[in-house]
Every structure is written in structure tokens, then in C-alpha cells.
Amino acid sequence: MTPLALVLAVALAASLTLCAWLWLRGGRRVPTAPAVLAPPPLADPFAPLHHPLFQSAATGLDAGLIVVDQAREVQLVNRQAEELLTLAPHATGQGLIMLLRDHQADALVAEVLSDGEPRETAMKPIATGRTLRLRCTALAPSGQIIGALLLIRDITQLSMLERSRRDLVANVSHELRTPLASLKLLVETLQSEPPPDVARRMLGQMAQEVDAVTQLVDELHELSQIESGRVTLKLTPAPLRPVVERALERIKPQADRKQIAIAAEYLDDATCALMDGDRVGQVLLNLLHNAVKFSSAGGTITVRTSLRNANGETSHEEAGQAGGLWLQVSVSDTGIGIPAQELPRIFERFYKVDRARTRNAGGTGLGLAIAKHLVEGHGGRLWADSVEGRGSTFSFTLPAA
């Protein structure tokens, strides 16, 4: 071995020994990877909300979105929330209560922020009168609640449907209770075997009550058919005059019985409407029936047919100019009239003006609701003008053919 080789061999042996000693001294530990440092906490945990991707996702939502921090300060509001709450743009930075203007909803968000449990509530902003459902969930990206997310949806239509369903059940049971109670009373009296003439009178009253219940059930059925779109109108061009004359013939016996005169003023014999003659006759009969019912002896009912356009002109030439040509039918009476504040409501299902006033007149309060649906099914309009104590005029339009 040359001296150089000897030196190299000694140096190699020494370095191996040193390595072995160092390794043994290290307690056979697996060399650890260099330590990964935890990212420093974000200065603003809501900064990602301003990322363009998040912003466009928030705008694409079909609900209002609001994000608040622990202090209920608003960090994000999307466009839908601005619309639903009628906010000025850029409402961030304000306290949530300034946006919601509803202490109950604000308190609900505070509860979610304190215990992390999601909650829901409904609110009705005064500015719009709409019903909003607000769902609030806590934001806790690393286990600790740092804020809350509010989703807002417009449920006005849904709550109106719900209310009308509840009203319907309440109204039907109310309308049924009266005839059923009186039927029960009459049956009990008959069971006690009253004199034959009294029994006969009572049977007559029972027949009337049964008629009232039958009418209610029929009209309810009719209304539900119309509202669910199961009634199809057979629209054909047909002259209006024969339809009016037929309805007048049918109402005449009732009018005569109450000594009420009937007058008719026709536009002409030939003008046609695009209509379902039977259904228009039904509307007319309902209006005439009411006119007789709410007029006292000696009154007059007048039926008029005329031509109208959107501007209300009446001659053929003027009416034709503005396009859409309409035939108008009006039924005027000299009866008890309708107070101005009640007028907008008389077309609602079951609505009766002052029940005490109309109790003896009978009726379900469904007739005008049905009539309105039928007229609107023709594309026309049904409305009422009235002066309390002086009389009423019900008018409807049909497209001229």
C-alpha cells in the first residue's frame, strides 16, 4: 500500500466512524422533514368574499345572501338581497339591523352567532309588504364561529296560498254550520210530533236549508274547477243580444215577485263577441240575481250593452281606431248599494258586505268570484261602481268579434 492510499483509507475509516457515532448519538431517530410552518392567521377572515369567483357565485344565487361578522356587521350583500330588502347598493359595513330593520330577525342572528345552531324566521319589510323567509347559519371555517350567513327568499306567494287555504276551510265550515244547525233544530222539533201544519212549514224550511247547502257545494265545486283550469271556454263569435235576452227572461219571475222593473238598452242586434255564450249567460244571471236580491220593491234594473276601446270611446269609428275593441255589458240597480271601502273586496271568495245586512238575502259569497274568473277567462274585466243607498252598477267587457 502506498502512503497516499494509506492516508485515504484512514480518513475514510475516520469519517465512517464519526458518522456512525453521530447516528447512534441521535437515538436512531428518523430524520424529520423540515418543519411546515402554520400560515399566519388571515388579517381579514372575510377577504375571500371579495374574490371575483365568490362574488359571481353570490350574484348567481336565486336567493338573497348576506354575510355578517361576529359583531353583526355586514360583510357581503348580494344583488338579490338588495332587491328583496330594497337597500341602496353597497350596504356593507353597516350593522345588520340597519338592513333588516327587524329586531326579531336581528336577535335570531345573534343567537346563531352565540350557539352555532341554524335558525329560520319569516319577516315582512314594511316598505314592500312582501313575506320573506330568512335562514341563518353560523360560519365556523376552523371550528370557531366567526360570523353568520343569511339566505333570504321571497315566500309571499306561498304564504298567500297558505292563507287562502286556511281561509277556505274556515269559510266553508262557517257557511255549513248555519244551515246544519237550523236543520238539526227542525229535525228535533219534528221528532216531538208538532201539529201537521207546523210540521209542513218546517219541512218547507228544511228544503230551503238543504238547497242552501247544495248551492254552496255546487259553487265550491265550480270555483275549484275554474281555478284549477279544468273549465275550458268554448270561445266562438256570437251576437250578444240573444244571450242578454235569455238571462233577462230567466230573472223576470223573481223580479216580478219583488215588483222590480227591468229595462234593457242594446247597442244593436248584430254586434258579436268572442265568447262562450253559456258562461256569459251565467255571469249575467249572477249579476241580475244580485241586483234583484239587493233591491227593494219598486226598484229598477237596467242592462246596457255598448262598445268600448281601451280609452273608453263608444262610437264604432273612435273605438276601432285604438285597436282592441270591446263589448261592455252593464247591470245597474237602484238597490242598497255597496260602501266604497268594501267595493274592492266583493270579488273575493266568500266576501259578503256586512253579513248582518245580507243575512236574510242568502247566498254564499262565491258568485262574484266565479263571475270574475269567467270574465277574465274571456280576456275581459269585471268591476263594480256603487253609491251606498243609491244603487250599484256591475260592468264587464268581452272582446268584440
Shortest distance in whole angstroms from residue 69 CB to ligand ADP: 55
Strands 261-265 and 300-309, sheet pairing: parallel
Using CA atoms, how far residue 224 sits from 103, 227, 377, in Å, is 40, 5, 14
Which positions from 47 to 66 touch ligand ADP by CB under 6 A, shown as an x/- string?
Answer: --------------------
The residue among 78 and 392 lying less far from ligand ADP, judged by its C-beta, is: 392
- How far apart are the C-alpha atoms of 264 and 392, rounded to whole Å? 16
d(CA 278, CA 286): 12
- For ligand ADP, give the closer residue by CB, 82 or 388: 388
Question: Which triple of cell numbers denotes residue 172?
Answer: 266553508
**C-alpha torsion sign, points 355, 356, 357, 358:** positive
Instruction: Give the residue, chosen from 64, 179, 299, 335, that forms a contact with ligand ADP under the rule CB under 6 A.
Output: 335
- The reply to whether 262 sits near ligand ADP by the rule CB under 6 A is no
Element (H, E) at 254: helix 241-257
Q: Which is nearer to ligand ADP, 295 or 305 (CB)?
A: 295
User: Is 322:311 a contact under the CB 8 Å cutoff?
Assistant: yes
Q: Return the number of the residue (26 or 362) whose C-beta is nearest ligand ADP.
A: 362
| Binding residues among 287-306 for ligand ADP as defined by CB under 6 A | 290-291, 294
Smallest gap from residue 287 Cβ to ligand ADP (A)? 7
Q: Report CA Rg, the chain.
A: 39
Interaction mask 196-225, ligand ADP, x per CB under 6 A: ------------------------------
- Phi-psi category of 35—alpha, beta or left, where left has phi over 0 and alpha has psi -120 to 50? beta
**Cα–chain center distance at 269:** 42
Q: Can you tell me whether residue 157 is helix, strand or coil?
A: helix
- Binder of ligand ADP out of 100, 216, 226, 336 (CB under 6 A): 336
Q: How far is the CB of 260 from ligand ADP (least distance, A)?
A: 12
> What mask, x for binding ligand ADP by CB under 6 A, covers residues 341 to 380?
-----x----xxx----x----xxxxxxx-----------
333 binds ligand ADP (CB under 6 A): yes
Helical pair 241-257 and 277-293, crossing angle rounded to 10 deg: 30
Select the span of 50-58, 171-179, 206-214, 332-340 touching ligand ADP (CB under 6 A).
332-340
Residue 355: CB minimum distance to ligand ADP, A: 8
Q: How many residues bind ligand ADP (CB under 6 A)?
A: 20
Considering beta carbons, is residue 83 or 376 the nearer one to ligand ADP?
Answer: 376
Where does residue 389 fall: left (phi above 0), alpha (psi -120 to 50 degrees), or beta otherwise? left
| Contacts of the segment 346-351: beta carbons below 8 A, 24+ positions apart | 346/384, 347/372, 347/382, 349/164, 349/167, 349/168, 349/171, 349/223, 350/167, 350/168, 350/171, 350/175
Among 235, 247, 338, 375, which residue interacts with ligand ADP (rule: CB under 6 A)? 338
Nearer to ligand ADP, 17 or 224 (CB): 224
Binding of ligand ADP at residue 147 (CB under 6 A)? no
Give residues in contact with ligand ADP (CB under 6 A).
290-291, 294, 333, 335-336, 338, 346, 351-353, 358, 363-369, 392
